């Protein structure tokens, strides 16, 4: 890996509404690596229905670049700003991008969800998403929330409760299925 490659991190780029795909295409043509996670929605137009791809995070896309070379991104039409803390750019965690990318590539039913601050962090232990972690939303119809902390945005995916575990503070592992039995009083 060259020094230039190690300086490149993922950043959230704020764009004008409904310009996400166009900006991603322009940035790719400029040589930047981009990631625009999308979900499929069924839209009804009068008497006909159509499947459309919509961004999971309205008004945002992700771009990997060296923060010292951000001018080509900022001058791209429809780019509003690169997300930061007011003084400097704040990168998106590589693990968050990786988890989200794997969920999108697995073609799971993803949909936007409010950002959650509470809940147990869990990790999927088997299947195509083994190693992906997120926040457990519910146990009966188990949902996993994948979050991009910087944007305070999340997406939800439905998963098999037997394929996840909840790491406990003292190191034991509890599967979601056994946790639901514990909650109901059946040990």
pLDDT in tens, 78-111: 999 999 998 899 999 999 999 999 988 988 778 7
What pLDDT score was predicted for residue 127? Answer: 79
Is residue 74 helix, strand or coil?
helix
Residue range(s) of every CATH 2.30.30 domain in the chain: 93-187
What pLDDT score was predicted for residue 157? Answer: 81
Rounded to the nearest 10°, the torsion over CA 139, 144, 145, 147 is 140
Which CATH code of 1.10.3470, 3.90.1690, 2.60.120, 2.30.30 fits the domain covering 93-187?
Answer: 2.30.30
What pLDDT score was predicted for residue 110? Answer: 82
CATH 3.10.350.10 fits domain 1-92: no
Of the chain, the percentage scoring pLDDT greater than 90 comes to 40
What pLDDT score was predicted for residue 180? Answer: 43
**How would you classify the pairing of strands 79-82 and 153-158?**
unpaired
% helix / strand / coil in the chain, to the nearest 5?
A: 25, 40, 35
Q: Whole-model pTM?
A: 0.68
What pLDDT score was predicted for residue 123? Answer: 76
């Amino acid at each position: 890996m060259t020094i230039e490659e190690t300086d490149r991190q993922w950043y959230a780029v704020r764009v004008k509404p409904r310009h996400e795909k166009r900006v991603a295409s322009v940035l790719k043509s400029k040589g930047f690596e981009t990631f625009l996670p999308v979900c499929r929605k069924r839209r009804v137009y009068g008497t006909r229905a159509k499947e459309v791809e919509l961004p999971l995070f309205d008004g945002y896309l992700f771009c990997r670049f060296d923060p010292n070379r951000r001018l080509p991104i900022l001058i791209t039409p429809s780019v509003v700003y690169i997300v930061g803390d007011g003084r400097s750019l704040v990168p998106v965690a590589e693990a968050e991008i990786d988890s989200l990318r794997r969920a999108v590539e697995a073609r799971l039913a993803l949909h936007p969800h409010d950002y959650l601050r509470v809940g147990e962090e869990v990790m999927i232990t088997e299947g195509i998403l083994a190693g992906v972690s997120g926040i457990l939303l519910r146990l009966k119809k188990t949902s996993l929330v994948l979050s991009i902390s910087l944007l305070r945005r999340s997406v939800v995916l439905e998963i098999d409760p037997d394929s996840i575990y909840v790491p406990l503070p003292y190191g034991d592992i509890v599967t979601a299925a056994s946790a639901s039995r514990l909650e109901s009083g059946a040990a």
